[in-house]
Amino acid sequence: MKNSLLSTTDVAALLKVNESTVKRWTEKGTLRCFKTHGGHRKYTRKDVAEFIERFGFEVDESAIRASAPQPGVTVSTDYAILTKNFALLAGVLKETLLRADEDGAYDFLRLLRSNRYTLPELYDQVVGVALRQIGAMWVERTVSIEQEHIATNCMLSALRLLQHDIPKKPLNNRTVICGCFEGEFHEVGITCVRNMLDAEGWTTYYLGPNLPVESFIQALERYTPDLVCVSATTPKVKTQFRKDCALLHAAAHRMGAALLVGGAATMQGGASKIAADFIPKSVAETLLWTEAHYRNGIA
């Protein structure tokens, strides 16, 4: 499959120009390319053919004829990146996590970023799906509890490392506190939400998992945030969870803050009974909501 992609040398030879010229075109965005694990530029025949047509280059047509993927052919990771094959990419991440390969997971996320994957795409469609695949394997007993723990810790470390590399937007003078209520230990989702808002220029306070609602309220008073984000996956007692949300929602409003509650538990029936300003299903929805509500400084 890799052979259907062209290298910078191939494209330069085809167009009879220097490699540096081809690189310059890609930097300007005139010619689309993507980068491999090793940081090498690759070009699809389709993109090169379009480029040739647009700019009227005269070339040997047979050299760029598309070799379309054949059914049943194993698609390489590079090709999956190029075509945004999220299921496959999540599978690659899952395998990396199950090998307890923290550096590999970090490198993989970096690779996706260098190929212009957005943070919501990364979190919702790669990280979330990979962990759900691991959860399914745990249910099938093909993954043990300790493997699941190691994989999740690897994921959290890789997310933390990646966060250092993400260019941050200038501070927007907005503050958010993020965490999970007492008894809730699933923290990957809320970590993704925090990291996305941090990259968007928010000042973030990460309270972590397993925090009593009273401590959330204390944090509200201490940090006077504009937004509170809570994640819930397996609340032990649903009525208690709803009470905690109602308490926090009222306290947040008193302080002029909004409350978002997300996570798997909010996607089951009964979500309408949760007191919140919005119940996003994903990081992507959270980004849209915050952009709509905090534009021009309006909460």
Q: Which range binds ligand B12 by CB under 6 A, 16-24, 55-63, 96-104, 262-270? A: 262-270
102 binds ligand B12 (CB under 6 A): no
127 binds ligand B12 (CB under 6 A): yes
78: nearest Cα among 108, 37, 46: 37
80: amino acid identity, one letter: A
Applying CB under 6 A, what is the total number of residues that bind ligand B12? 36
- The single residue among 131, 159, 177, 274 that binds ligand B12, judged by CB under 6 A, is 131
Taking the least distance from each CB to ligand B12, the nearer of 23 and 135 is 135
Q: Which range binds ligand B12 by CB under 6 A, 3-11, 44-52, 121-129, 159-167? A: 121-129
Taking the least distance from each CB to ligand B12, the nearer of 49 and 86 is 86
123 binds ligand B12 (CB under 6 A): yes
DSSP 106-150: HHHHHHHHHTT--HHIIIIIIIHHHHHHHHHHHHTTSS-HHHHHH
Show the CA angle centred on residue 230, arms to residues 229 and 235, nearest 5°: 170
Contacts of 111 (CB under 8 A, 6+ apart): 35, 36, 37, 81
- The single residue among 185, 222, 254, 256 that binds ligand B12, judged by CB under 6 A, is 185
Show the CA angle centred on residue 109, arms to residues 107 and 112, nearest 5°: 110
| β-strands 5-7, 41-44 pairing | antiparallel
Q: What does the block give as tokens for 57?
A: 């280059």
> Least distance to ligand B12 from the beta carbon of 282, Å?
5
Which residues form the interface with ligand B12 (CB under 6 A)? 123-124, 127-128, 131-132, 134-135, 139, 148-149, 152, 183-190, 192-193, 229-231, 233-234, 260-264, 280, 282-283, 286
